[in-house]
Amino acid sequence: MSAIHHPRHLSTSISSSTSAFLGQNNFNTRTQSVPLPVRNNGSCKCVATPSAEKTAYTTKVSRNANMAKLQAGYLFPEVARRKAAHILKYPDAEVISLGIGDTTEPIPEVITSAMAKRSNALSTVEGYSGYGAEQGEKVCLILFYKNSCQNPLLYRHVDSSSRSVQPLRAAIATAFYGHLGIEEDDIFVSDGAKSDISRLQVLFGSGVTMAVQDPSYPAYVDSSVIMGQTKQFQKDIEKYANIEYMSCTPENGFFPDLSKVSRTDIIFFCSPNNPTGSAASREQLTRLVQFAKDNGSIIVYDSAYALYISDDNPRSIFEIPGAKEVAIETSSFSKYAGFTGVRLGWTVVPKQLLYSDGFPVAKDFNRIVCTCFNGASNIAQSGALACVSPDGLKAIHEVIGFYKENADIIMDTFNSLGFNVYGGKNAPYVWVHFPGRSSWDVFSEILEKTHVVTTPGSGFGPGGEGFVRVSAFCHRSNVLEACRRFKQLYK
C-alpha cells in the first residue's frame, strides 16, 4: 500500500520585493509532497481533492508590517539581477560593470600579507585568539604574551573597559582623527557601514524621526522603514511618509536648503555623497552642525569616501567645531582598501553626544555592539591595522588615485558628449543628468546598447530621477572601453 501523494502547489505572493531573490534562486513555485497515512483496510480510497493551495500550513505569526512597507528589493541586488538577465540574453557580449560600486583592483600586498600572517598565527598556541572585544581589537596579542610571562596560564584577554593598548581602535583614531580630539574608545570597529547603519537604527529605535538626502544611499531609508520609523510609501511622490527628504540637486549645489527642512531627530548625511559625488564644503557643514545643534538633532555622517576628496572639503564632520555634541560618523575600508569582501568599517560615537536626558549615546551603542554583534573578523582587523600603517596608507592612496583617474576619464567622456555631469572629483561616482527621462529607461538603454551596467538615479530616491550613476570602480581597460561605447551611443 503506497502512501497517497498530493502535490501541493504553493504560489508565493510574489511581489516586487522578491524579484531580486527570485532571480538569484530561480524558484517561482514550490511543490510539496505530503504523504498521507496509509489506510489499513487494504484498498486505497482515492478521493479527488481540489488543488490544495488553500490548505498549505501557515504559522499564525503575523508578518512584520514594516517589511510589508518596503517597495521593492534592495536596489543593488535588483541591478545585479538585471545584469545577470542581460548576460543570459547576450552571452557573447562583454558586459562592463559600472553599476554596483564594487572595487576591482587588488589589495596592496602590505595589507594582504598582514592578513595572511594573522591567519597563520591562528594555528599557533601563541597566536591563536578567540573572541575579540566587540568594539574592536584592543590588546596587542604578541605583546601581551611576552609581557605576561609571570602569568603563563593566563590566556584570556580582557575587555572593553580596560585601558590597555588598543591597536586598531587607536590606529584608526590616529590615522583619521589625529587632531580632532577623537579618542580610541570613541571608535567602534565593525564589519562595515551597512551593518553599522542598521545597528544605529536598532539603537535609535522606532520612535525617532529621520531626514535623508534625496537622492541617497538606499540603506538609510530602507533600514528606517524596517525599524518602523516611517509610515507607508506614497506612490505619487515616491517617498515614505514620516521621512524628511532633503532635496540635493544641481540647483542647490547638492546641499539642502536647511531653511526648508523640518526638524527630525536623526539626520543622515553622506559626504562625499553617494550617488551624487558631491562633497560638502566646510561652510555647508558648519551650517549643518548649527542646524543640528539648534534642533537638538543627531547627524549620522557617512564619510566612507572621504579619502577621494581632491580639494579642501572636510574629511570628517569632526573638523567642524561643536560636531562632537551632535554627530556620529561612520566609515569603511571598503572603498579605501578594496575591503568590500573582506568587511571592515568603523563608527565614531563621541563621548559628548548625549540623549535628551543626558545619557551618553555611546554607552547604549556599546551595549548594542556587545549584544547584537560579536566583533569584526580578527583577520580583517589585522588587515585594517596594516591599512593605517605608513606603508598601508601610502598603498591605499595609490589605489584610490587609480579609481579617481577612472572617474576623471568618465567625467571627461560625458562632458565631451554635452551632458551635465556632476561628482567624480571628490568621489568615485559620476552623476550624469538625462533631463526629462526615466532613469530606469536610461539604465536599460545604456545596458542594451552598450552592455554597460550603471545605476538608475531613481533607485536612490525621487531626487535621483533623471540621473544615472556611473561608478569609477573598474579595470582601466574596461573604463576606457566603456567610455568608447558611450561616445558611440551618444555622439
Of 99-128, binders to another protein (CB under 8 A) are 100, 102-109, 111-113, 115-117, 119-120, 122-125, 127-128
Helices (H), 246-309: 282-295
- Is residue 481 part of the contact set for another protein (CB under 8 A)? no
Q: Which three cell numbers stand for residue 330?
A: 561612520
Choose the binding region for another protein from 167-175, 176-184, 290-298, 436-444 (rule: CB under 8 A). 290-298
Alpha carbon distance 338, 331 (integer Å): 13
Q: Which is nearer to another protein, 27 or 90 (CB)?
A: 27
Q: Which residues, numbered 308-327, are part of the site for another protein (CB under 8 A)?
A: 322, 325-326
Classify burial at 228, counting beta carbons within 10 Å of its beta carbon; exposed 0-12, middle 13-18, buried 19 or more: middle
List Cα–Cα distances, 203 to 150, 189, 224, in angstroms.
41, 16, 12
Q: Which three cell numbers stand for residue 80?
A: 545585479
- Is residue 227 part of the contact set for another protein (CB under 8 A)? yes
Q: Which is nearer to another protein, 115 or 432 (CB)?
A: 115
- Is residue 442 part of the contact set for another protein (CB under 8 A)? no
- Is residue 368 part of the contact set for another protein (CB under 8 A)? yes
- Is residue 62 part of the contact set for another protein (CB under 8 A)? yes
Q: What is the DSSP secondary structure assignment for residue 240, as one 8-state letter?
A: E
Q: Which is nearer to another protein, 119 or 252 (CB)?
A: 119
Q: Please identify which residue in 23, 66, 290, 444 interacts with another protein, judged by CB under 8 A.
A: 66
End-to-end CA distance of the chain: 73
Q: Which is nearer to another protein, 173 or 342 (CB)?
A: 342
Alpha-carbon torsion 445, 491, 436, 305, what sign?
Answer: positive
Classify burial at 94, counting beta carbons within 10 Å of its beta carbon; exposed 0-12, middle 13-18, buried 19 or more: exposed
Contact 300, 330 (CB under 8 A): yes
Q: Which is nearer to another protein, 228 or 462 (CB)?
A: 228
Q: Please identify which residue in 3, 36, 56, 93 interacts with another protein, judged by CB under 8 A.
A: 56
Task: State the minimum distance, in angstroms, from the CB of residue 436 to another protein.
Answer: 31
Interface with another protein: number of residues (CB under 8 A): 131
Q: Please identify which residue in 38, 296, 391, 441 interacts with another protein, judged by CB under 8 A.
A: 296
The residue among 277, 214, 219 whose CA lies nearest residue 471 is 277
Q: Please identify which residue in 219, 279, 285, 300 interacts with another protein, judged by CB under 8 A.
A: 219
Q: Which residues, numbered 253-272, are part of the site for another protein (CB under 8 A)?
A: 265-266
- Is residue 71 part of the contact set for another protein (CB under 8 A)? no
Q: Please identify which residue in 37, 92, 156, 262 interacts with another protein, judged by CB under 8 A.
A: 156
Q: Which residues, numbered 395-434, are part of the site for another protein (CB under 8 A)?
A: none
Classify burial at 258, counting beta carbons within 10 Å of its beta carbon; exposed 0-12, middle 13-18, buried 19 or more: middle
- Is residue 129 part of the contact set for another protein (CB under 8 A)? yes
List Cα–Cα distances, 273 to 58, 89, 256, 280, 377, in angstroms.
44, 34, 13, 8, 28
Please name the amino acid found at residue 333.
F
Task: State the minimum distance, in angstroms, from the CB of residue 18 to another protein.
Answer: 5
Task: State the minimum distance, in angstroms, from the CB of residue 344 to another protein.
Answer: 8
Choose the binding region for another protein from 64-72, 82-90, 229-237, 276-284 (rule: CB under 8 A). 64-72
Contact 138, 144 (CB under 8 A): no
